[in-house]
């Protein structure tokens, strides 16, 4: 019955108007949410970086403390304590960096151009292309090479 009859033009107009207004309201609402989100993201990003940094700097404070204690032993020429102190500082910094994901670049075996830099090659009784000396350790953080290992490689025995 009523469901079957055609809408009058006036009724169609009213329905369309309602639809148009609804879309317009939704558009305004989504645009406002987007804008607020954008502003919040900018604020968050700054504080995210600041907080990430802050945490790491804070973890370095005990290393700095241990180092100052070692410095104090050095100034008093208390050598045994100084040696212990340096070992302690080294362990705490190395542990901290390992917790951050730092790992040493492998240097056992053949030269790897992705993680190593060859400073020079020398004749040696090792196989050609083998790493024969590490001049400076290399480090990776996750997949990224922060610093390649600087190495000397073998030219082979007939180099």
Binding site for its own copies (CB under 8 A): 9-10, 12-13, 16-17, 19-20, 23-24, 26-27, 30-31, 33-34, 37-38, 41, 44-45, 48-50, 52-54, 56-58, 60-61, 63-65, 67-68, 70-71, 74, 77, 79, 82-83, 85-87, 89-90, 93-94, 97, 100, 102, 136-137, 139, 141-142, 144, 146-147
Tell me the pairing of strands 139-141 and 102-104.
antiparallel
Q: How far is the CB of 64 from its own copies (least distance, A)?
A: 6
Q: How far is the CB of 97 from its own copies (least distance, A)?
A: 6
Q: What are phi and psi of 45, to 5 degrees?
A: -60, -45
Nearer to its own copies, 68 or 127 (CB): 68
């Amino acid at each position: 019955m009523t469901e079957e009859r055609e809408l009058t033009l006036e009724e169609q107009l009213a329905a369309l108007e309602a639809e148009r207004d609804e879309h317009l309201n939704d558009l305004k609402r989504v645009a406002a949410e987007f804008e607020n989100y954008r502003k919040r993201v900018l604020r968050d990003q700054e504080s995210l970086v600041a907080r990430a940094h802050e945490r790491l700097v804070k973890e370095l404070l005990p290393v700095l403390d241990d180092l100052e204690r070692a410095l104090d032993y050095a100034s008093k020429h208390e050598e045994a304590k100084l040696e212990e102190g340096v070992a302690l500082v080294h362990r705490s910094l190395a542990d901290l960096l390992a917790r951050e994901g730092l790992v040493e670049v492998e240097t056992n075996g053949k030269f790897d151009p992705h993680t190593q830099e060859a400073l020079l090659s020398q004749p040696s009784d090792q196989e050609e292309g083998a790493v024969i000396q590490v001049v400076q350790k290399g480090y990776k953080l996750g997949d990224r090479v922060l610093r390649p290992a600087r190495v000397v490689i073998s030219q082979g025995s007939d180099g």
